[in-house]
Chain A
């Protein structure tokens, strides 16, 4: 698959588990993002990375921990989540981190927290 890929596509976890979401972009972009998409809510920006450095953290709870080891890979480490964290987590990338570049989204990970 080309573009932006995410694994796993579906994840069910208990509140005491630790899991990680993975995103990979094959577009040569310099910026990557994590978004949370819940029903009846707008897409919520969680983290922005530019050239592996985090440039934005929209007051996301510490139970979400991002990691960007290189410009092509982005992880979201999850621990002690709450049921209200159940949502679709979307990764995106763009050529540059400024908001005026098209963002290319991955297929998302559907997360269910029991």
Chain B
């Protein structure tokens, strides 16, 4: 089955700086890669996703890049703000079938004031 590795497990950055979280996946058939954000004590929520026919996608201060050949994808957050502090999960799916999502272990992003 699919295996998703996520790094780093904890990331501390100064407010205003950029943050990058990286994930690798094992199943070359995976074609859908969402990112979820989970604030302390709250439920995970989708923040951005990318499909395998696209190399990059942006939404305001967040962007995701995908390298299918290397089987890795990354989340980029620019101009970080205190409200960006949360745990971020990457995930991978083959789509189509009812196989759900395989999640990474999560990255705890800490924004230092």
Contact = CB atoms under 8 A, between A and B. Distances in A.
A105 B98 contact: no
A16 to B, nearest CB: 30
Given A4-B43, A107-B42, 14 more contacts: A31-B98, A33-B100, A42-B6, A42-B89, A56-B98, A90-B44, A97-B98, A98-B97, A99-B93, A99-B99, A99-B101, A100-B31, A102-B46, A106-B43
A29 to B, nearest CB: 13
B95 interface: yes
A103 interface: yes
Interface residues of B, number: 28
Interface string A72-114: 0000000000000000001000000111101101111000000
B62 interface: no
Interface string B28-42: 000110100000001
B97 A103 contact: no
B4 interface: yes
Greatest chain A CB density within 10 A among B42, B43, B45, B103 is at B43
B100 A45 contact: yes
Contacts of A99: 32, 93-95, 97-101
Contacts, number: 66
A22 B97 CA distance: 26
A54 to B, nearest CB: 10
Contacts of A56: 98-100
Interface residues of A, number: 24
13 contacts: A42-B4, A56-B99, A56-B100, A98-B98, A99-B93, A99-B94, A99-B97, A99-B99, A99-B101, A100-B31, A100-B93, A102-B34, A106-B43
Interface SS of chain A: helix, strand, loop or mixed?
Answer: loop
A40 B9 CA distance: 9
A50 B99 CA distance: 11
Contacts of B96: 98, 100
A100 B51 contact: yes
A13 B113 CA distance: 41
Of B32, B98, B106, most buried by chain A (CB within 10 Å of CB) is: B98
